């Protein structure tokens, strides 16, 4: 006899894992309450704990990414301003040279 594998929504898994993390009830009582095997609850609990590490790591990575983009934008602006300054110095020198010839 084959068993049909149950599929649980992510919201349901999060709810069960959060209940297990709070430790207000035992895993066996949560198992009875939600109709999920205790091993599955422990697995979701471990996944939730490891996922929390990623949440904080993602925040740090996002800040680093934003910093890198900001630095890249500033370097582009410096390059643009340098080109404009060089052009204006050249144009100014040309005007001085033309006025001197008259």
Residues 16-52 pLDDT 10s: 999 999 998 999 999 999 999 999 999 999 999 888 8
Nearest-angstrom CA–CA distance, 38 and 21 = 13
**pTM check: above 0.75:** no
Average of per-residue pLDDT values in the chain: 88
pLDDT at 101 over 70: no
CA separation (Å) from 13 to 28, 31, 33, 58, 96?
16, 12, 13, 21, 76
pLDDT band for position 1 (50/70/90)? low
Q: What would the pLDDT profile of 6-19 be if each residue is shown by its tens digit?
A: 888 999 999 999 99
Domain boundaries, the chain: 10-101
User: What pLDDT score was predicted for residue 65?
Assistant: 81
């Amino acid at each position: 006899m084959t068993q049909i594998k149950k599929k649980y929504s992510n919201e349901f898994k999060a709810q069960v894992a959060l209940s297990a993390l709070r430790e207000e009830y035992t895993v066996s009582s949560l198992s009875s309450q939600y109709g999920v095997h205790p091993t599955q609850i422990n697995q979701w609990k471990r996944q939730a704990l490891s996922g929390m590490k990623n949440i904080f790591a993602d925040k740090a990575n996002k800040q680093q990414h934003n910093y890198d983009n900001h630095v890249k934008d500033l370097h582009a602006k410096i390059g643009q301003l340098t080109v404009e300054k060089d052009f204006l110095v050249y144009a100014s020198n040309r005007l001085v040279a033309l006025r001197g010839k008259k």
